[in-house]
A and B are shown apart, each in its own frame.
Chain A
Amino acid sequence: MAQSSESLPPVRFDDEAWEALAATTNANLCFQCGTCTAACPLADSSPLRVRQLVREAQFGETDAFLWKCMTCAECNASCPRGVDIVGLIRGLRGRQWHTREVPKGLPTLLWGMYSDGNTFHLPPKDRASWLQDVKVPGKGSTLLYVGCAASYDPRAQRIARSVAALLNLAGVDYQVMGNEEVCCGEAARSVGHDALFQDLQQRNTESFRKRGVERVIAISPHSFDALKAGQAANGGPQVVHYTQAIEELLDSGKLGKGSSKGTVTYHDPCYLGRHNGVYESPRRLLELSGLKVVEMGNSRAQALCCGGGGGRMWMETPPAERPGSRRVHEAAGTGAELLATACPYCISVFESERGSEAIPVTDVAELLARRAKA
């Protein structure tokens, strides 16, 4: 289709911007094969063309679709050259903050994280309300980092109480920060605001140092991923996910095995699985408790994202573009009695996107804690 050259906008090569992005993300390795586009779970429902995003970035251009990305890292996992595409997307989003071309609602989200220390604009003084009757030892160099979701969302608070119950049962010495706990900044990182992310990570590093923390157990895979990266950069404590910590307790005999019956299918959260390679710990926990794990077709590194990552929890997504219901449907299709996962965002999405599927959704910790009580 011929167009006169007067009607085409001029192409600007923003070499400086590209070089800056390439320096932090090895994006120069991209040779435009398009495998990433094919791997992207949004390819069916929305025109997010990853390969094209990368190409446009080289011209200093970007696209509204930049914000649809859930940072699930299917692209990273599939890239034959190992390009950190998720990192590039975060970097591209970061540039939009300078020109203030970001989706509505995101500046407000960041203000909440900065001023209230959480993603919900809820009072800092209510952050410890998840505890209810749970007693925490309040000593030792291990800290349970609860995170905003498990602190404030009543559904996710049950996960926090379950993890605490398991740690208590195993006689672990640990502390929690209560009302002094502050957001890990993962949402800022996801939406490309690296400066706020670093600020919040630094606040956490200082809190950890003040409390003599040497090891952090994170409840949300998002906190786990953010703290792992941020604390390593700041010389802070070691960070593990709760499934890893509980697995250690089971292996060392501090927690007993279970004799539950029944089948469960496990959904790998993107930030536990693809981002950090933790696939086996949660499955072992389920098996050691006596359940039979039935796999979905898209499992481990091929797991389908729930759609909550990449800051999408705070942006409106048209129903047709939400992958969550597809995943619940896949889980129900295995015939398993339960869908288990280990992420508060995944649980929130699955419970609201389940449609007519009846399969109950549970967190691994909730399952184990319930069995431990029985």
Chain B
Amino acid sequence: MVAKDTEGLWVYAERRGSSFTPVSLEILGKAKELSRQLSVELTAVTVGNDGGAAAELRRYGPDHVLELVHPLLTRHDGKAYTKAIGMAIQKAHPSTLLLGATRNGQDLAGRLAVRLRTGLTAHVTSLELDGSGQLVGWVPGFGGGIEAGITCPEKRPQMVTVRPGVFTAPPEGAPAGDVETVKVDLSEEDLGSHRVAFEPKGTSIDLTRADVIVVGGRGTDGNFSRIEELARRLGGEVGATRVATDAGWVDRDRMIGQTGVITRPKLVLVLGVSGAVQFTVGIEGAGTVVAVNRDPQAPIFEHADLGIVGDLGPIVESLLRSLGEA
């Protein structure tokens, strides 16, 4: 028997700059669907040092927007946010709280779940309702080899964090629903940390966190401009083998391999690379490997999901055409 639902489904909308994290909006989309299935109301809750962000959230479908504000809440602080949201939840008793599994989202969720003495299901890749209306979140484990369906049968609110890209943001609509702005009871002591510095991303290459990598090797004959274009169209990074970096076609910090960078992208295109083990250990953890090489005996084909034997040039050009203008 499912514990009686109390006051609805909540989604934590994480602020980022003047807007919200894409995953917050994605979750709002799924949450709307779930709230209709469960016949409960949907609330988007957000935290910050001023009101006004709510206006944007009203376009994405929640029935209510709850803004928790205080001048001290200028940035994410796990301890202070836990207090703010915890108090709001203890007052309103929602049955469910969904959060985006961003790093700050997880920083918050783990702490908040303990504050509320409730169950937290992390990084779901899908959310379903079972036969009795119980929420089931499917989560990957053991390096992605196993998926477990997790439920929180009794404690409330049941908390779930959701990975980016799992759901789709609803289209932006006309603003709807009401907004409540609550000034949180907070003091300096409630803050867990203070920011002393911030270095925005984009000042350095980080292949280790790239989701898409396009690697060029000897077979490119130095034609890295097409490799770079491909990476750009796919929103990814350029990687290289030792041959390519030795030849000066690309910077050494793009070299992938045992003495270079170890990467775990979702997708890697390995173009004109023979596939020596010193290189392939650098892409061992990739989700999907696509390789192109002129030599059917090239060892890279044993490390690829899809291998194309052929000339690199025409294949790259054809692929760029099919990807269209950026």
Contacts and interface: CB of A to CB of B under 8 A. Distances in A.
Whether A and B touch (Cβ < 8 Å) is answered with yes
Interface of A: 105, 120-122, 149, 152-156, 313-316, 319, 348, 351-352
A319 B260 CA distance: 15
Nearest to B242: A352
Given A314-B258, A316-B259, A121 B299 contact: no
B284 interface: yes
Contact of A154 (B242, B246, B284, B299): B299
B243 interface: yes
A156 to B, nearest CB: 8
Contacts of B243: 352
A130 B259 CA distance: 24
B276 interface: yes
Interface in B226-285: 242-243, 246, 258-260, 274-278, 281, 284
A102 to B, nearest CB: 14
B259 A348 contact: no
Contacts of A156: 277
Nearest to B245: A319
Given A314-B258, A352-B243, A122 B276 contact: no
A122 B277 CA distance: 10
Interface string B290-326: 0000000001001100000000000000000000000
Interface of B: 242-243, 246, 258-260, 274-278, 281, 284, 299, 302-303
Contact of A348 (B246, B278, B281, B303): B278
A7 to B, nearest CB: 35
A154 B275 contact: yes
A316 B277 CA distance: 15
Given A153-B276, A155-B276, A319-B246, A314 B259 contact: yes
A121 B246 contact: no
A154 B274 CA distance: 11
A319 B302 CA distance: 28
Given A154-B299, A315-B259, A319-B246, A121 B281 contact: yes
Which of the listed residues B275, B277, B281, B284 has the most CB atoms from chain A within 10 Å of its own CB?
A: B277
Contacts of A105: 258-259
A319 to B, nearest CB: 5
Contacts of A316: 259-260
Which of the listed residues A121, A315, A352 has the most CB atoms from chain B within 10 Å of its own CB?
A: A352
A155 B297 CA distance: 10
Nearest to B248: A319
A140 to B, nearest CB: 30
A133 to B, nearest CB: 14
B258 A120 contact: yes
Contacts of B260: 316
Contacts of B274: 351-352
B281 A120 contact: yes
A70 to B, nearest CB: 15
Contacts of B276: 153, 155, 348, 351-352
A328 B302 CA distance: 27
19 contacts: A105-B259, A120-B277, A121-B281, A121-B284, A153-B276, A153-B277, A153-B299, A154-B275, A154-B302, A155-B277, A314-B258, A316-B259, A319-B246, A348-B276, A348-B277, A348-B278, A351-B276, A352-B242, A352-B274
Contacts of B242: 352
Nearest to B284: A122
B5 to A, nearest CB: 45
Given A155-B276, A319-B246, A352-B276, A122 B259 contact: no
A153 B277 CA distance: 5
Given A122-B284, A352-B242, A352-B243, A154 B258 contact: no
A176 to B, nearest CB: 20
A313 B278 contact: yes
Contact of B299 (A120, A122, A155, A319): A155
B302 to A, nearest CB: 5
A120 B278 CA distance: 8
Contacts of A155: 276-277, 299
B278 A122 contact: no
Contacts of A152: 277
A319 B242 CA distance: 10
Contacts of A120: 258, 277, 281
Given A348-B277, A348-B278, A351-B276, 4 more contacts: A154-B275, A156-B277, A316-B260, A352-B276
Contacts of B259: 105, 314-316
B303 to A, nearest CB: 8
A315 B242 CA distance: 12
B271 to A, nearest CB: 17
A250 B253 CA distance: 50
Which of the listed residues A152, A155, A348 has the most CB atoms from chain B within 10 Å of its own CB?
A: A155
A120 B279 CA distance: 10
A155 B299 CA distance: 6
B250 to A, nearest CB: 14
> Top 5 closest A-B pairs, CB basis?
A154-B299, A153-B277, A319-B246, A316-B259, A154-B302
Contacts of A315: 259
